[in-house]
Amino acid sequence: MDVIASVKMYLNRMVDECGVGLKVLLMDRQTISVVSLVYLQSEMLQKEVYLFETMDNLTRMSESMKYLKCIVFVRPTQTNIDLLRQELIRPHFGQYHIFFSNIISKTDIKCLAEADEYEVVKDVNEFYCDFLAVSPHLFSINISNTYQGFKSWNQSSLQRTTEAIISVLLSLKRNPTIRYQSNSELCKRLAENIRQTIAREGSLFDFRKSSLNYSNSSDPSVPPVLLILDRKLDPITPLLNQWTYGAQLHELLTINNNRINLADVPGVKDMKEVVLSQEHDDFYQRNVYLNYGEICANIKQLMDEFQTKTKSQKKVESIADMKSFIETYPQFKKMSGTVTKHVTLIDELFRLISTHNLFEVSETEQELVCQSDHSESLKKVRKLITSDKIRDLDALRLAMLYALRFEKHSNNDNQSIAELLKKRGISDKQIKLASLVVNFAGTKRQTPITATELLSTDHVKSFTKKMIKGLKGVENIYTQHSPLIKEIIEDLAKAKLKEVLYPYLGTIQLREKPQEIIVFMIGGTTYEESCAVYELNKSLMGVKILLGGTTVHNFKSFTDELIHGSNPLGSGSPSFSDRNRIL
């Protein structure tokens, strides 16, 4: 169940089915992200794709390019159908090979056929890539406005989420048994929508056993399990500072479609944006789930290796030396780019960690959510909130964690924390996020699985302190917290997940241990949870796990979700990340 391999397979088929010759790839804003996550532009050029256009630009094109074959890869939306109709009435290219990223209705196909008076359309296909393949075991839809008043779906998000999950299932050729979180109406609604779609499109889901190819499955008759969860189940994970490389980059610098914007980073002149891809960056692939200290050691090793090769490249004294240099230059240049990129990123991470006292902040966070000493936790939270060494963002983060962890304690404590936040200059709307997260997922909102149970010793590992030597000394990194999704998946893999909490949808109930598990988190997942799934894929022999979410959160995007979702009409106040935040 590798979503990157699945998307690449479809894209390769698109190009191959067009045959030889110059090609243009016509996409919409969503499919641009789908392609860019798994392919570099240089790789597409090698496949004779020399021009990339968007549907929005079609109406502004004046030049006719009949010598080009047009690969159309778009979502089957009404807007795209209308734009394609207009294009086929006055075609700019010689022929069109149309690929929709999801199921398209017969009515829309008939509409396109009627517009194709010049008979330039050679074929129309459904290639199921209506999602973002972030890593082999992680996919996202990249939508953030999920909730409407925290109790129900934003209707457009429900439809989009259903379509994306159906696309994932068709892409992987999986017809799963569905389970869902019982205390979430959103989970039940999504589960029902998925089942209805599978029933309606029965022919598409009638996979032959030979095509199922259940990896490492001793019994191919055991279907995969699709488990649908609600972010309200675990509001803690997206609130915490992170310490694995990928999660830390997303938390402090924000990864958007595998890209990080460095335009505002001090001292960076020639590298305004960097691409992070496990497919194309070996160093990132090897280190994405390692912690900060290990990354520091590994980047030093990479620099030492690069410096050694640099010295050897200077010795060009003969024809043989020149030949060797020319042969190794592409690899040398690639390594140079890798070193420059990751040194820049790690240097900026170090600057932010040092400047904003993130080690102490993170230690307090971990103790706050994993230990039970209220008075000591309150003392540390107050001390940090009054410190000018931490960011406003982290002061608010601590207030939200405290409000969740000690919800049943006196309101006076929360009010005193709110006053300290106000003295920092944090606005009343931002301060209200502490009560907002309690409304979202506090104990009164969580039955039968409560926030108190989430934070109990049953759901966290024992405290460990890891001494890790980095580039600039020895640092203590606290790794107490473990996302709740890890325990849920472990129970499901062992066939011990309680049906009263996570019932089956329909009459089919599995008694066997599943070999394949697809977990989808309504309200967004996180890189910490992705790391947990990565580790489970290695430790749970014979079980393959795929994780998906409406988006991949960091603290800022999660608070945006809370703000938008708190409005019963589905729209919220200006988002947290839109306000004047200082990294």
Separation CA 397–CA 409 (nearest Å): 18
Name the CATH topology of 3-129. Rossmann fold (3.40.50)
Range(s) of the chain covered by CATH 3.40.50.2060: 3-129
For 470-494, give the secondary structure using H, E and C: ECCEEEEEECCCCCHHHHHHHHHHC
Strand stretches in 172-289, DSSP E = 177-180, 225-230, 259-261, 273-275
For domain 358-478, give its CATH number from 1.10.10, 1.25.40, 3.40.50, 2.40.30.
1.25.40
Range(s) of the chain covered by CATH 3.90.830: 245-355
Range(s) of the chain covered by CATH 1.25.40: 358-478
pTM of the complete model: 0.88
What's the pLDDT score for residue 563? 93
pLDDT in single tens digits along all 583 residues of the chain: 899 999 999 999 999 999 899 999 999 999 999 999 999 888 888 889 988 999 888 877 778 899 999 999 999 999 999 999 999 999 999 999 999 999 999 999 999 999 999 999 999 999 999 999 999 999 999 998 899 999 999 999 999 999 999 999 999 999 999 999 999 999 999 999 999 999 999 999 988 644 444 444 445 668 899 999 999 999 999 999 999 999 999 999 999 999 999 988 888 877 889 999 888 889 999 999 998 888 888 888 888 777 776 665 555 455 555 555 555 556 656 777 788 889 899 999 999 999 999 999 999 999 888 877 889 989 999 999 999 999 999 999 999 999 999 988 767 888 999 999 999 999 999 999 999 999 998 876 555 444 444 444 333 332 223 222 233 333 344 567 889 999 999 999 999 999 999 999 986 777 788 999 999 999 999 999 999 999 999 999 999 999 999 999 999 999 999 999 988 765 544 444 443 332 2
* Tokens representing residue 132 in the block: 């973002």
Separation CA 295–CA 245 (nearest Å): 7
Place of tokens 């095509």: 211
Name the CATH topology of 134-234+483-577. Rossmann fold (3.40.50)
What contacts 540, CB < 8 A, 6 or more positions away? Answer: 490, 493
For residue 527, the one-letter residue type is: Y
**Contact assessment for residue 261 and residue 276, using Cβ atoms and an 8 Å cutoff:** no
What's the pLDDT score for residue 299? 86
What's the pLDDT score for residue 461? 32
Give one DSSP letter per residue of 70-97, joined into a string.
EEEEE---HHHHHHHHHHHHS-SEEEEE
Q: Is 68 helix (H, G, I), strand (E, B) or coil?
A: strand
What CATH class has 245-355?
Answer: alpha beta
Longest dimension (CA), the chain: 80
What's the pLDDT score for residue 470? 32
Dihedral, CA of residue 379, residue 435, residue 161 and residue 17, to nearest 10: -50
**Contact assessment for residue 224 and residue 548, using Cβ atoms and an 8 Å cutoff:** no
Range(s) of the chain covered by CATH 3.40.50.1910: 134-234+483-577
**Contact assessment for residue 17 and residue 97, using Cβ atoms and an 8 Å cutoff:** yes
